[in-house]
Amino acid sequence: MPRDYLKKATLTAQSHATEVHDTVKTILADIEAGGDAKALEYAVKFDKFDGNVLMTADEIEAACALVPERLKADIRFAHDNVRRFAETQKSTVSDVEIEIVPGFVAGQKAIPVDAAGCYVPGGRYSHIASAIMTVTTAKVAGCRHITACSPPRSSEGVAPAIVYAAHICGADSILAMGGVQGVAAMTYGLFGLPSANILVGPGNQFVAEAKRILYGKVGIDMIAGPTDSLILADGSADAHVVATDLVSQAEHGYNSPVWLVTDDRGLAQKVMELVPALIEDLPELNRENAFAAWRDYAEVIVCSDREEMAACSDDYAPEHLTVQAEDLDWWLGRLTCYGSLFLGEETTVSYGDKATGTNHVLPTSGAASYTGGLSVHKYMKIVTWQRATREGSKSIAEATARISRLEGMEGHARAADVRLAKYFPDEQFNLTADE
């Protein structure tokens, strides 16, 4: 049967995507031209902060001292999990070489980028976990310099827990600056910082647009939209747990889509009955975000069977994908498009967002159909090299000359010809593609 939408979104993640472009473009141009002074001007305007923006060692130490010991222990626990997972990921990429033909060797080398800029949201929520996710992976990758950048809170500066997390995870510098101005400062190498080779980390629509515009001048982890989550649930799922998980992700923001896909109409209806009260029970700011996200962006879809459910999920390519259904191994083998997968009621997106070790910087808005999330690999350039003896280059040169002439690229062909003539002056070669 066709997919039956018990609830259909009235808006999409792209509904307001173009509104901030001109503003961001102007700010970036101003800061590129005006340097430190212009960035500080925007910091006063948007961050409402006129304190020291590049934190000193004493300021970092003082901020760390404000963090309760229990929270420090939790941050260290999460950092250790993320670090160990990143180290395991890094071990999957190694320098290799292969003898293409006798005497001709080609290879691969993994080189970390020099400088990474890690944006850590700190406005509406203090995203401690984002500091852990971004800085730790950059450190494990081997980046020489890591800047953590986070919005200050008026005269208070960056949230102490963010400072502590960034510090213990390996940030070399901590920049008290938010929004477009913070992204620009890392990109252009302001305040004595090295210019970032890559910008990573989540942020609001202005930060996301700044990264989009700057992509090409610097690398980025991905072009991110609002966070999104999809739950696949069959009749065995607990409706209260499903509803709670949907609400937990809707609180991210007013435009954060959440979707339920099921083959059990009764479960779908029960979840829809439960969600409003769960939203109402949230603190005020969280409640406003979740209410708007559920009202405007959420969808509830009933499918005929699990295969149709899986196909629906792959079409959406969600950032976060949860399966609360029987036969988890089947789902693991079948599903192909997601940023991160959470199998079974015993885990949840919140675990991955904070502490399990897998990264929470993930592709949104359907980008999971072609890319994965932030990992240690994002900071590493996979480059190639080659070396040959004269004898080893002979067959390569002959093939290169003939292919090049067939393509009409005579200059390329002659680069091969000159080597054959130099290395093998007594031999004759057919270097045309006529035969």
In the beta sheet, which residues pair with residue 302?
4, 262
Q: 127, 167, 252, 320: which one is catalytic?
A: 320
| Two structure tokens written together for 167 | 């510090």
Could you give the CA distance from residue 107 to residue 92 in angstroms, rounded to a whole number? 16
Q: Which residue has the tokens 């700057």?
A: 214
Q: 127, 251, 252, 319: which one is catalytic?
A: 319
Q: What is the DSSP letter of 45?
A: I
* Segments of 120-257 assigned E as strands: 145-150, 173-176, 198-200, 219-220, 229-233
Catalytic site includes residue 346: no
Could you give the CA distance from residue 381 to residue 119 in angstroms, rounded to a whole number? 21
Catalytic site includes residue 320: yes
In angstroms, how far is the first alpha carbon of the chain from the final one?
58
Q: Which residue has the tokens 């792959």?
A: 314
CA neighbor of 162 nearest in space, from 136, 206, 129: 129
Could you give the CA distance from residue 207 to residue 182 in angstroms, rounded to a whole number? 9
Give the amino acid at 200: V
Where does 91-159 have alpha helices with state H? 128-141
Q: Which residue has the tokens 């083998």?
A: 333
Could you give the CA distance from residue 286 to residue 124 in angstroms, rounded to a whole number? 10
Could you give the CA distance from residue 390 to residue 422 in angstroms, rounded to a whole number? 10
Strand order in the sheet with 173-176: 173-176, 145-150, 115-119, 198-200, 219-220
Cβ atoms 198, 218 nearer than 8 A: yes
* Segments of 140-254 assigned E as strands: 145-150, 173-176, 198-200, 219-220, 229-233
Q: What is the DSSP letter of 429?
A: -
Q: What is the DSSP letter of 156?
A: G
Could you give the CA distance from residue 405 to residue 333 in angstroms, rounded to a whole number? 47
Point out the residues that are catalytic: 319-320
